[in-house]
Amino acid sequence: MDELTQARLQVVRDHMRLECEHDWDAVIATFQHPRYEMQGMETVFDGEEAVRGYFATSRAAFPDQGNEIIAIGAGGDSVLVEFWLTGTHLGPLKLPTADLPPTGRAFRLKMMASFEFAPGSDKIVCERPYFDRLALLAALGLG
């Protein structure tokens, strides 16, 4: 494995750990340009202000949100990660059509994310998480 691939894998591991630690400045520093494309919600957060807003909103709903990496691999300008997303619904969950009050229920949801990198760089240009929104709502007793 070449040095750039190793560096990208470490950036993704660090990025995911820093999200759990709520170290938003350090998470933002892993990006060349902050961007999340949420495939389970069909929502895009583009730019630092939008991404920081996503962090605030998502952690208001799930302040203990965490992740556990199951598998990680790299190819081309992408790193793919399979992981468990965990958390407890302790604040309002903002959906495009409604705000759902907290249920107090914990969840553990298997997810996948692709991290796209700028060519020749170890800086992320887009994180693209894939998840089943209905499975999350069911786990929270809302679906």
**Per-residue pLDDT tens for 105-138?**
999 999 999 999 999 999 999 999 999 888 988 9
In this predicted structure, what is the pLDDT of residue 96? 76
In this predicted structure, what is the pLDDT of residue 143? 72
Confidence label for 29 from pLDDT (cuts 50, 70 and 90): very high
What does the pLDDT average to over 35-64?
94
Nearest Cα to 109, choosing from 79, 80, 88, 78? 88
Radius of gyration of the chain (CA): 15
Total Cβ atoms within 10 A of residue 70: 12
Per-residue pLDDT of 70-95, as tens digits, reads: 999 999 999 999 999 999 999 999 88
Return the C-alpha torsion angle 79, 67, 56, 95, nearest 10. Answer: 90
In this predicted structure, what is the pLDDT of residue 52? 98
Confidence label for 64 from pLDDT (cuts 50, 70 and 90): very high
Give the global pTM: 0.93
Whole-angstrom CA distances from 9 to 79, 86, 87, 140 are 7, 21, 24, 32
Q: What is the per-residue DSSP string for 104-140?
A: --EEEEEEEEEEEE-TT-SSEEEEEEE--HHHHHHHT
What does the pLDDT average to over 96-112?
93
The span from the CA of 49 to the CA of 104, in Å, is 29
User: Measured between alpha carbons, how far apart are the two ends of the chain, in Å?
Assistant: 44
